[in-house]
Amino acid sequence: MAALGIGGLLLLILFVVFVVTLVLAIRHRLAVRIAMRNVRRGKVRTALLVAGLLIGTTIISGSLIVGDTVGSLITHYSYLGAGYVDESITGTAPSGGPLYFSYSVYNETVNRTAGYDRISGLAPMIVDLGSVYDRTTGVPETNLNLIGVNGNQSTQLGPFVAQNGSSLEGPTTGAFLDQQTASAINASVGDTLVVYGHQALTLTVQAIVEPNVRGAFITAGLAPGDVWVSLAAAQYLENESGDINYIAITNVGSQAQGAASSGAVGSYLNSTLAGLLSSQGLVVGTPLETSLTQASNSGSDLATIFLVLGLFSIIAGALLIVGIFVMLAEERKGEMGMLRAIGLNRRDLVYTYYFEGVVYAAGSALAGIFVGVAAGYFLVYLAGFILRNDGLPANAIVQSFTVTGQSLIVAYVAGFLLTVATVVVASRRASRLNIVRAIRDIPEPPPALRVYTWLAVLGGVFAAIGALVYAATYHGTSNGSEPILGGALVILGAGLVAARFLKNRPVFTASGLALVVWTGTERLHTLLFGSSHTGGIFVLFTEGIFLVGGALMIVLFNADLLARGLRGLLGARGTASPVLRVGLDYPTRQPTRTAVSLTIFSLVVFTMVATAGYGSTLQGSLASEVASQSGGYTFFGYSQNPIPEIWNDIHSNATLAPEFTNAGTVATGTAEVYVPGYAKNPYQDSVYAPPTNQSGPSSFYDTEAFPFLSTINGTGAAATFQLVASDPNDAVVDANYDASTGSLAGSSAGGHPILTVGTTIRVTSLSGSASANVTVVGILKQSIIPGVWLNSATATALGYSVQNGYFLTVAPGISATTAAQDLKRAFFADGLVVVDIEAVLASSIGTTQGFIGLLEIFVGLGLAVGIAAMGILALRAVVERRRDIGMLRATGFTQGMVLRSFLLEYSYVTLVGIAIGASLALLVVYNSSISPVASSAGITNFVAPWLTVVEIVVVAYGLVLIAIAGPSLRAARLAPAEAVRVTE
Amino acid sequence: MSESVVEGRDVWKTYGTGETAVNALRGLNLQIRRGEILAVMGPSGCGKTTFLNCFSGLDDISKGQVLVEGTDIHAMPDDRKSEYRARRTGFVFQSYNLLPILTAEENVEMPLLIAGRGAKEARSAAREILTRMGLGERLKHRPSELSGGQQQRVSLARALVARPAIVWADEPTGNLDAEGSHEVTELLRSLNQQFQQTMVVVTHDAGVAAACDRTLRMRDGQFET
């Protein structure tokens, strides 16, 4: 089955449906003829049906296409960034930078792999960070990839391509710049360039190279740029004579073929070079294959988010289908009754609908994938627009627009099957009509007791399954959707059982209330599931469905009370009174139809408002997020060369002195962290050790303001850091170590280790030569500077004494951008990199918000279902109610009163649906803001998106008014004499 | 002679145009006296229902004048016509035309609400008239829960509850059996005597016509002389 794939499986199901339909068609030819006649007899109605039915396929195909495009985009950059480097041999130095090793390792690797036919070439390289200064233009740039490679040793990696199109083997006497770097420093070929590593070297710009698979190595053509020099020049710049830090390995064949064989080659290298690698502290990586896997996963993850959110619209679409077919059945009731009276059996009647439905499903699914492609393109275009400032070249996203055959097949078959399944359910209901009642147009009686008995049995099954699901998943769950689903099934099941013995109104009102309370009370979830349960897209879906379901049960089973209350509240006099009566009583007393419309609107508005709510809440959390992540500092910086006296250096610089109020240093490095109970010990993480001997405003321990998620014995934040400063056995860790964040990162699958305060962890230097046991006395709220914060003496003992990390605070009123530029310029030769903490957070939240905006538009597609539902219902109502309208007109209703009663009826349904959807969506977002994992997800303040809610209400209601305007006017203009005579 | 409440002068109703034009009413002249029950009979397609629709103001006429209580009803704008119907007329139809979503009492109170009466007053009047018509036990029933005869009685109650000057009835017994038909005819007669309302009854039923004060016969859009 796995080999078949989802596309193959769906095609197989489609084939089975086709064969079954064909056999049924041969055996029930009369039903086929009636069905075909029904399809042909109303072209406008058929067009409306197909339009309503294609929504599901559109949403599925649109979601998959977005996934395809993102996958394709990342794949494109994966190929560019990895080039022909299928495997790499690298190591990490204790400082966290690249590990340099002897050139002889390269020679040894070449010798040992000489006979292996899957490798076509190996290249010795240096890949490190560097800075450049273009003396010709006077423009510097830091934090670039400095790559040393010999052209004649790396021909298997492909040629560089110069701007004039000529092929180049590699840098010799000068430097190659990629377009990013050249653009950043306004460089041209021939410019004099000072390149900085650990020491400086003056070269000329030998070429500016195109971002092909060779020239876009590592960066994929994006920022930061590459500077290519010869291996010897790189060794000089990094002061690593005779050493390299990177062996690039190219497999035989194209990039795709190379990536495909990467697993086998990697295993081969690991076994062939085992002793050599371990003795040098080196590992074999598979950059291209890893990158391609991530691309595939990213596309798939994104498609899942779109699909799950789209599920609300798909359900709304399915309900629309049910609504349409129920209305079709009502419209044809008399005719169906006659067919039954003259001998057509019940089964044939079902088949009549089935065949008709299959025709609509086939047509609408086909139309749906085309509309889905258009919708997908629209979304991709919008994504390109929204993310235009996020470092990607203009049009990069739109140019990656991809539609795979598999996506089209999956969308078509899924849309087709969804429609057919819905049609089968709807047609079974239609076929159950009583012949006499159908011919005489008498309403069906309430369900018999045996129906309630069956429902009670079904309820028992629901409750049992729900109880099992709850019991199996509730304890300490990280995915709240499972126990919530279990509990909701128990409530629903209990309601169905109780309805067998008690009246519907109290039973289903109580069930609805219970569902709303159960799914909508976050504190209850925390109490029952523990503090590590998280939300995520599946919780949004589960809560959304059951909250909306519960609210609808309350409203529908008390619709008469609601209508009476509204009439009383409005206290209408004069002509408004009969208009209110008619306008509110039609939706109240046609519960099935009203339920369909309300559900559609509630679900669609729920997703729209929830999506907007997450966006506004994230934005609203920015200020407190900045405060908790930054510790009061504006910048976090690091440099290639340590700047231990950065505060004094700033103070003595005329430009910088007024711009900064504080600057402190911190020793940094990379270590192995052993956490008790963690499945994949050791975990490699950064370590930080602020020195205690700095004075004045530059002392970290005097000026930091990092808040904590938890501290030992509830110690205050400043006191907790003082514990670290004074006790070599104490440490604090970032928020990723907290259970709430750790579970988000997937600690159960061996992601980030989690711990509680008081835990003793072991920190070991990467070389393994030194280690220390420290007790975690606090877990920070921040995770933007991730790692373990050690006492200075402990860090020094482990080998981390180089102070090349910095915390800086910009003076009030000074532009952070200006201050960062001045700072980088002043410490350019040291390779200082400055991270603007607020800008990083704002950018991250901005991107998230852009994505949320995209989702808003996507879920807004579901609004089309609601509008279509209202339009179709209103059209149908005019036909159905001609006689009623005629009678009302005869009794004195004016045209205006008819129009007002129609508008009131559909406004009532629409606005109640909007109110349910919007209020419950805000509740869900509020819940996420008070959940235990809220702060680690960047949500600290609940901010209701009132403006967006108003926009959604106005747009949704406005579109409904437009959709029902035509039918309502038609109803108002009906000639009373004609209308009273109509008999259907 | 009693005062004329409805007067038709050379009333024509033509459907369609040109060669396909059909004259449903051909220059009808008629005076209906206040308080009388007038029966209009004739074969199917002779124009009975068209007559009722045109003289009651439900449908427009092609030529002529219909004066109701001295006012040319077809010269009124649509809203005035609606107001006139709400205050001065009641209608009874063969297929009852009750609003299926409303209960018996809600159907009956509707004309009063339309005429601007208060909800309590309307509810009380609806209950009173329905009780008098023997439907006191059926106030909360929907039309689908009533028999044909009961539905027609509700329909009659709706037509009469606002005490209109004129009641127009189109085949009020057309869907009823002999017993139901007799019951409705008696009800019309007794209500007419009680409230002195003018009633115009279009019918096929000779028994109904016999109970009326006057009977007119129609053929090809004209009254037979």
Q: Do B116 and A883 lie within an 8 Å CB cutoff?
A: no
What phi, psi does A358 have (nearest 5°)?
-65, -40
Residues of B at the A interface, defined by Cβ within 8 angstroms? 49, 53, 58-59, 78-79, 82-83, 85-87, 91, 93, 95, 97-102, 106, 110-111, 113-116, 118-119, 144, 158
Q: Please, which pLDDT band fits residue A751 given cuts at 50, 70 and 90?
A: low
SS (HEC) of B52-108: HHHHHCCCCCCEEEEEECCEEHHHCCHHHHHHHHHHHEEEEECCCCCCCCCCHHHHH
Q: Is residue A28 scored above 80 in pLDDT? A: yes
A592, A887, A904, A983, best to mutate vs chain B, most B CBs in 10 Å: A887
**Nearest-angstrom CA–CA distance, A708 and B192:** 89
Identity of the residue in A443, A893, A978 whose CB atom sits nearest the CB atom of B114: A893
Give pLDDT, residue B204.
87
Give pLDDT, residue A573.
64
Give pLDDT, residue A423.
76
Q: Please, which pLDDT band fits residue A83 given cuts at 50, 70 and 90?
A: confident
Q: Are A667 and A802 in contact (CB under 8 A)?
A: yes
User: Could you say which residues from 715 to 744 on chain A have a Cβ atom under 8 Å away from some Cβ of chain B?
Assistant: none
Give pLDDT, residue A345.
76
Q: Please, which pLDDT band fits residue B106 given cuts at 50, 70 and 90?
A: very high
Q: Do B97 and A886 lie within an 8 Å CB cutoff?
A: yes
Identity of the residue in B100, B113, B118 whose CB atom sits nearest the CB atom of A578: B113
Which residues of A fall within a CB distance of 8 Å from B95?
883, 983
Higher pLDDT, A487 or A870: A487
**Nearest-angstrom CA–CA distance, A516 and A551:** 7
**Which whole number is the average pLDDT over A885-901?**
90
The answer to whether A558 faces chain B, any CB pair under 8 Å, is no
On the CB side of A956, how many CA atoms lie within 13 Å of its CA?
Answer: 36
Q: Is residue A106 scored above 50 in pLDDT? A: yes
Q: Is residue A387 scored above 70 in pLDDT? A: no
Give pLDDT, residue A744.
37
Give pLDDT, residue A958.
93
Give the nearest chain B residue to A442 (CA atoms).
B144
**Nearest-angstrom CA–CA distance, A310 and A84:** 39
Give pLDDT, residue B101.
84
Q: Do B119 and A883 lie within an 8 Å CB cutoff?
A: no
Radius of gyration for chain A, computed over Cα atoms and rounded to the nearest angstrom: 34
Q: What is the DSSP letter of A786?
A: -
Q: Is residue B222 scored above 80 in pLDDT? A: yes
Q: What is the DSSP letter of A476?
A: T
Total beta-carbon pairs less than 8 A apart between chain A and chain B: 85
Give pLDDT, residue A1.
44
pLDDT digits (tens, 9 = 90+) for A518-566: 999 888 888 888 776 665 677 888 889 999 999 999 999 998 898 888 8
Helices (H) and strands (E) in chain B, counts: 7, 10
Q: Do B91 and A586 lie within an 8 Å CB cutoff?
A: no
A880, A891, A978, A983, best to mutate vs chain B, most B CBs in 10 Å: A891
**Nearest-angstrom CA–CA distance, A860 and A863:** 5
Higher pLDDT, A737 or A384: A737
User: Could you say which residues from 428 to 467 on chain A have a Cβ atom under 8 Å away from some Cβ of chain B?
Assistant: 442-443
Give pLDDT, residue A95.
66
**Nearest-angstrom CA–CA distance, A356 and A363:** 11
Q: Is residue A234 scored above 70 in pLDDT? A: yes
Q: Do B79 and A586 lie within an 8 Å CB cutoff?
A: no
Higher pLDDT, A319 or A483: A483
Place of tokens 């190591």: A91
Higher pLDDT, B173 or A339: B173
Q: Is residue A228 scored above 90 in pLDDT? A: yes
Q: Is residue A4 scored above 60 in pLDDT? A: no
Long-range contacts of A448-451 (CB under 8 A, 24+ apart): A449/A500
Give pLDDT, residue A742.
47
**Nearest-angstrom CA–CA distance, A133 and A219:** 20
The answer to whether A888 faces chain B, any CB pair under 8 Å, is yes
Q: Is residue B2 scored above 60 in pLDDT? A: no
Give pLDDT, residue A984.
38
Identity of the residue in B59, B100, B110 whose CB atom sits nearest the CB atom of A578: B110
pLDDT digits (tens, 9 = 90+) for A672-708: 889 888 777 888 888 998 887 766 566 787 778 888 8
Q: Which residues of B148-169 are buried (b: 16+ CB within 10 A; e: fewer)?
A: ebbbbbbbbbbbbbbebbbbbb
**Nearest-angstrom CA–CA distance, A720 and A701:** 10
**Which whole number is the average pLDDT over A579-590?**
85
**Which whole number is the average pLDDT over A635-664?**
87
Q: Is residue A647 scored above 50 in pLDDT? A: yes
The answer to whether A896 faces chain B, any CB pair under 8 Å, is yes
Which residues of A fall within a CB distance of 8 Å from B116?
573-575
**Nearest-angstrom CA–CA distance, A839 and A848:** 14
3-state secondary structure of A557: coil
**Which whole number is the average pLDDT over A453-476?**
91
**Which whole number is the average pLDDT over B148-177?**
88
Average pLDDT along chain A: 84
Q: Do B83 and A892 lie within an 8 Å CB cutoff?
A: yes
Q: Is residue A287 scored above 80 in pLDDT? A: yes
Q: Please, which pLDDT band fits residue A88 given cuts at 50, 70 and 90?
A: very high
Cis ω before A447 (30° cut-off from 0): no
What phi, psi does A147 have (nearest 5°)?
-120, 125
**Which whole number is the average pLDDT over A734-754?**
61
Which residues of A fall within a CB distance of 8 Å from B108?
none
- Adjacent-strand bridge partners of B14: B23
**Nearest-angstrom CA–CA distance, A540 and A931:** 13
Give pLDDT, residue A749.
38
Distance of alpha carbon A616 from the chain centroid: 16
Which residues of B fall within a CB distance of 8 Å from A574?
116
Give pLDDT, residue A442.
60
Give pLDDT, residue A575.
67
- Our CA-based measurement puts residue B1 at a distance from the nearest CA of chain A, in whole angstroms, of 30
**Which whole number is the average pLDDT over A232-257?**
92
Higher pLDDT, A44 or B124: B124
Q: Do B115 and A886 lie within an 8 Å CB cutoff?
A: no
Q: Please, which pLDDT band fits residue A140 given cuts at 50, 70 and 90?
A: confident
Q: Is residue A267 scored above 90 in pLDDT? A: yes
Q: Do A577 and B102 lie within an 8 Å CB cutoff?
A: no
Percent of residues, chain A, with pLDDT higher than 90: 25
Q: Please, which pLDDT band fits residue B152 given cuts at 50, 70 and 90?
A: confident
Dihedral sign computed on CA atoms, order A213, A219, A224, A229: negative
**Nearest-angstrom CA–CA distance, B111 and A578:** 9
Residues 6+ apart with CB under 8 A from B144: A442, A443, B100
**Nearest-angstrom CA–CA distance, A764 and A685:** 10
